Chains A and B, each alone.
Chain A
Amino acid sequence: DAGVIQSPRHEVTEMGQEVTLRCKPISGHDYLFWYRQTMMRGLELLIYFNNNVPIDDSGMPEDRFSAKMPNASFSTLKIQPSEPRDSAVYFCASSSTPGGTDTQYFGPGTRLTVL
């Protein structure tokens, strides 16, 4: 298995632009998580899905952030408009039941820089 795939690996954009991050979970996994990692705030859970349905989006910082999972093999995290304080590494992770969410498999991350 190729593992969790994220694209792009690096994104540099200017303030105000729309940014879309993409994730392909491991085939057969029914949970998908989006995290943000910064030096200041550490690892933060933004949102997670179960069977393509958003379960908890309480970690989404504000309305500029949105996430979708149109099917079991693809999810997007969109920031519109982007701001410099959104600069971070964004990770996608997936896991499966009945193992539950114990073992989350992380992608390599997308490093976002907003100028």
Chain B
Amino acid sequence: GDSVTQMEGPVTLSEEAFLTINCTYTATGYPSLFWYVQYPGEGLQLLLKATKADDKGSNKGFEATYRKETTSFHLEKGSVQVSDSAVYFCALRGGSNYQLIWGAGTKLIIKP
């Protein structure tokens, strides 16, 4: 079945560092891919998405490119801030299935 694998956390960086959180997937067909973010004490919220190969999703300085050849959707940000500290979830939706398949989440800690 479909699955999503994320890099284990926590990922700890200093402010202004470059961020990459790896996400790879297994799916039949052409899934849509998503990154959600969960700030402490809150529910998840959509950060960005891409619906077809080579699409780049972007929001709040974060980017991710849908790479079908490597089945990846890595999240990147050029310069992180303390306020980016949160848990980041990669997810996919495949075909006619209306469910989202979730990764385990990666906790990001940014130190000033």
Contacts and interface: CB of A to CB of B under 8 A. Distances in A.
Contact of A106 (B45, B93, B99): B45
Contacts of A100: 93, 98
Interface stretch (B10-18, B21-29, B100-108): B100-108
B44 interface: yes
Interface string B57-77: 000000000000000000000
B46 interface: yes
A113 to B, nearest CB: 15
A102 B102 contact: no
Nearest to B96: A100
A42 B44 CA distance: 13
Nearest to A41: B104
B44 A102 contact: no
Nearest to B44: A106
A98 B75 CA distance: 27
Interface residues on B, range: 10 to 19
B100 A101 contact: yes
Nearest to A92: B43
Given A56-B99, A108-B43, A102 B89 contact: no
B34 interface: yes
A100 B32 CA distance: 11
Given A43-B102, A102-B51, 11 more contacts: A31-B98, A43-B89, A45-B100, A45-B102, A48-B99, A91-B43, A93-B44, A102-B34, A104-B44, A104-B46, A108-B42
22 contacts: A42-B102, A42-B104, A43-B44, A43-B89, A43-B102, A43-B105, A45-B100, A48-B98, A48-B99, A50-B98, A55-B98, A91-B44, A93-B43, A101-B93, A101-B99, A102-B34, A102-B51, A105-B45, A106-B43, A107-B43, A109-B42, A109-B43
Interface of A: 4, 31, 42-43, 45, 48, 50, 55-56, 91, 93, 100-109
